Amino acid sequence: MKISVLGLGYVGSVSAACLARDGHTVIGVDPNPIKVDLINGGKSPVVETEVGELVAQHAADGSLSATTDAAQAIEQTDIALICVGTPGQDNGALDLTYLERAAGDVGRALVGLDRYYAVVVRSTVLPGTCRNLVIPTIEQESGLRHGVDFGVVMNPEFLREASAVYDFYNPPKIVVGSDVGDETEDADDRAVDMLLSLAPPTDAPVVRAPFEVAEMVKYVDNAWHALKVGFGNEIGRICHPLEIDSHAVMDIFCLDQKLNISAKYLKPGMAFGGSCLPKDVRAINYHARSHDVDLPILGNLTASNETHLERAVKLILDTGVRDVAILGLSFKAGTDDLREAPMVEVAERLLGKGLNLKIYDQNVSLARLTGANAKFIHDHLPHIGELLVDDIDQAIDTAQTVVVGNSDPAFVEVVDQVADDVNVVDLVRIMTEPPERANYKGLGW
């Protein structure tokens, strides 16, 4: 395929060199004439393993060239990859000047082209940028229509500097954002197909998603990487004064790919609770303080959790009704353990606001029946114990709001079948696909 690459920095130079190696004809575009001259002279504008050799080879065989004139490149190609910088401003906001200019250049170059053209955004941009900036800018400058005359696709780049060529051929995933699934527009698959035909042979999963999901994924990845670095460093800081080898600790931590390095505990849902997490987070922070060690990430976990719990309470109060059914009281389905269960705290706050509650939890009721947790409820939560009912129907019969507080599968049917005028506040995403009813509210979805 014939490809324009706009922006000859790290991402653009690596992509251009690798795509030329894969047999495509690539024209790089950059307003910086030094970078353009470097490429045309067979030299890489960036220091990156293998890229120098690839640029030399493909500038010589004519499959890789560069220009400062976007129109000249676009006229000779079928698809443009936008790899321009999106630097941060002092206040953290993104500077989209380069992206807007590149989209404008593409739009003006499309005037009179008279054939379909695909535009791929590879720069890292916040959700909404493709839909609200890139597409309108190209439409405005070209007078053409997205999805008809040209297509825009978001394809975030996951390469790491210093291993960028390796990463180009071994991506962790390929994410393609487009207007797929939009009800208001006919999804245009041509640009997506053109982009995917450029992908190197790989076992990486290919995921199609709406624009905003694809845009968000890149930020979630980088926030996660930053959080991991900060977490590891804080573990190092607390281990050091105790003369514990932090690397030995983290080696063991990383061995556990079932719970630690895994998809567990990462889906947005209810605040954490139970007999271990809250207590142990407090203990490690107390221990750090007693050694004068400052742990800003670990030290704020409890505050973060509290914010989440407050949000859950607010969602329920915002339904504006007095009769509420809580389904699920223990901190997770399948246990009767009520120690530091966040739903107990939610129930107490709702009671404090004068709401009428009925609470159903199969395991808590069962344990109460057998006497197992009767003493705990009697000693610690007598006011909550009085509100427990023994079956779901009894809990929901007069409820105007049903709150799902843990993931007992029995609650799926309740949400499916509850009357249309009853509000549902789902704190755990019990429904794989949230129902499309206006009075269904999720905690983070």
Active-site annotation, residues: 276
Figure out which of the listed residues 64, 81, 98, 217 binds ligand NAD, where binding follows CB under 6 A. 98
Of all residues in this chain, which one has the CB nearest to ligand NAD in the complex? 9
In this chain, which stretch among 9-17, 196-204, 396-404, 437-445 interacts with ligand NAD, using CB under 6 A? 9-17
* Residue 147 backbone zone (phi > 0: left; psi -120 to 50: alpha; other: beta): left
- Residue 40 as a binder of ligand NAD (CB under 6 A): the answer is no
Contact status, residue 152 vs residue 81, Cβ threshold 8 Å? no
* Dihedral sign of CA atoms 194, 196, 199, 201 in order: negative
CB of 216 to ligand NAD, least distance (A): 14
Cβ–Cβ < 8 Å for 83, 9:
yes
Looking at residues 100 to 139 of the shown chain, list those that interact with ligand NAD (rule: CB under 6 A): 101-102, 105, 123-124
Residue closer to ligand NAD, measured from CB, 133 or 249: 133
- Name beta bridge partners: 80: 4, 119
Between 123 and 373, whose beta carbon lies closer to ligand NAD? 123
How many whole angstroms separate alpha carbon 445 and alpha carbon 436?
Answer: 12
Binding part of the chain for ligand NAD, among 17-25, 79-87, 243-251, 297-305 by CB under 6 A, reads 79-87
Q: Does 315 bind ligand NAD (CB under 6 A)?
A: no
**Span from 53-61, 78-86, 172-180, 377-385 in contact with ligand NAD (CB under 6 A):** 78-86
7 touches ligand NAD by CB under 6 A: yes
Q: How many residues of this chain bind ligand NAD (CB under 6 A)?
A: 25
Q: What CA–CA distance (Å, rounded) separates 74 from 67?
A: 11
Under 8 Å between Cβ of 35 and 7: no
Both tokens of 411, joined, read 């609650």
**Separation CA 289–CA 299 (nearest Å):** 9
8 A C-beta contact, residue 413 and residue 392: no
Residue 66 beta carbon to ligand NAD: minimum distance, rounded to whole angstroms: 10
For residues 225 and 383, which CB has a smaller minimum distance to ligand NAD in the complex? 225
Residue 7 vs 177, nearer CB to ligand NAD: 7
Q: Are 40 and 236 in contact (CB under 8 A)?
A: no
Q: Is the distance from CB of 428 to CB of 269 less than 8 angstroms?
A: yes
Give residues in contact with ligand NAD (CB under 6 A): 6-12, 29-32, 35, 83-86, 98, 101-102, 105, 123-124, 157, 159, 161
